[in-house]
Amino acid sequence: MSVMPAPALSFLNAWLVRPWMKPLLWAVCAVPAVALLIGAVVGSLGANPAEKLIRETGEWALRWLWLTLAITPLRELASLPALVRFRRTLGVTTFVYAVLHLLSYAGFDKGWVLDDIVRDVFKRNFILVGMLGFVVMLPLALTSFNAAVRALGGRRWQWLHRLTYVVAMLGLLHFYLKKAAKNDTDEVLVYAVILAVLFGWRVMRRGGILAMWRVR
């Protein structure tokens, strides 16, 4: 139950449903990508711009994914049902940044040489985990529009999109394996704690790990 007074909640919900709120969110979501693009053009990404692009796009993909997962708890705890309007926007943004992360790796690190990419996937475990996460994310992105909901049916669509938590766990493992190689896991711990809270809330809300996969 929200601690905010009812008039404040009503006012905030009224603002959240305004037509320009979604375009505003899309603009906000684009800011990190635009900043990286400008940095690449003007040469302000440091001594290793390729590494900076790969790292930043990957970390922003995680941030947008965590925000996507936070929408439902925030909607219920804050009594702001209008927040659900932005979950799909954040989910699509997550995929876009994941694509940018993959393209940055394939283009800047491997020069678009497919043989080198395939060899790297099986040589380095953190890249293999990242690729698995992207593969699981792909059907979620391809079904993130209304026609897909109608084609699959609401129940099957909901079940499919519960795989978002699988993507999150693979993304976190990918991040950990990359950071662990440099003995730098403090930031990973922050992401892990937030994900544990979000996942724990979902499990308790649904009545158990198995129950959370049932569509009601």
Q: What is the pLDDT of residue 101?
A: 97
Find out whether 82 and 17 touch, Cβ atoms under 8 Å. yes
Helices (H), the chain: 6-16, 21-42, 49-77, 87-104, 114-123, 125-142, 146-152, 154-161, 164-180, 186-206
Total length of the chain? 216
- Which pLDDT band holds residue 202 (cuts at 50, 70, 90)? confident
Whether residue 215 has pLDDT greater than 90? no
**What tokens appear for 3 in the block?**
């601690």
Residue bearing tokens 């799909």: 88
pLDDT tens, 98-151? 999 999 999 999 999 999 999 999 999 999 999 999 999 999 999 988 888 888
Q: Concatenated DSSP letters for 142-168? A: HT-SHHHHHHH-HHHHHHHHTTHHHHH
For residue 85, which amino acid is it?
Answer: R
- Which pLDDT band holds residue 213 (cuts at 50, 70, 90)? low
- Which pLDDT band holds residue 214 (cuts at 50, 70, 90)? low
**What tokens appear for 147 in the block?**
């026609």
